[in-house]
Amino acid sequence: FEYFENFDNGSLSPSFQLAMLWASVGNTMPSTFWLIYYLLRHPECLAKARGEIEQVCSLAELEGEITQESLDKL
């Protein structure tokens, strides 16, 4: 992290910024795709994930705000 301390004054090069943007999107999209693919191919895992989410986030919470405490329970 010492390397990045020198860039706090806005001196990041455009190519570095583009590389960071590409890396964040380039890794998130394939991971999300494979997660959804896995859940659709394995209904038992999808049911378990849904059950955990329903346990933590009741309908009352979904109508209002979801709190950090409810997210911490996941």
Most confident option among 16-30, 41-55, 56-70:
41-55
pTM of the complete model: 0.51
Are 66 and 53 contacting, i.e. CB atoms less than 8 angstroms apart? no
Instruction: Report pLDDT digits (tens) over 24-45.
Output: 778 888 899 999 999 999 999 9
Q: The tokens of 23 are what?
A: 């890396």
Distance, in Å, from the CA atom of 8 to the CA atom of 4, rounded to the nearest integer, reads 7
Instruction: Report pLDDT digits (tens) over 1-28.
Output: 456 565 555 666 778 888 888 887 788 8
Distance, in Å, from the CA atom of 10 to the CA atom of 12, rounded to the nearest integer, reads 6
